[in-house]
Amino acid sequence: MNDNDVLLSDLSELSAIKQAALSYVTEAFAEAELDGLDADCMAHAALFAAFMELVATYGEEAVAQYAAGLPDKIRSGAFSMALKH
């Protein structure tokens, strides 16, 4: 398992660098909300920026393969903050 496979609810499992990066993104969302931007708009922009960076770093095919696994991660709750019962 690597840092990309850790559930958000298990933040203690993330590396310190990824925890810092998530803090920056969370702060950006909070500041945007204070400025009146919709969280949904920010999420779409963040996803677009993230995929642009990933493609620039790893290439389109590698990112497409990574993205192909996202539906299963989403369905399994990897990005959900609520506790599962």
pLDDT single digits (tens) 41-59: 999 999 999 999 999 999 9
Whole-angstrom distance, CA of residue 43 vs CA of residue 49: 10
Give tens-digit pLDDT for 70-79.
999 999 998 8
pLDDT band at 82 (very low <50, low <70, confident <90, very high): low
pLDDT given for residue 84 in this prediction = 54
In the structure encoding, which two tokens stand for residue 48, read together?
Answer: 């677009």
- Cα distances from 69 to residues 23, 38, 63, in angstroms, run 24, 27, 10
Q: What is the pLDDT of residue 4?
A: 55
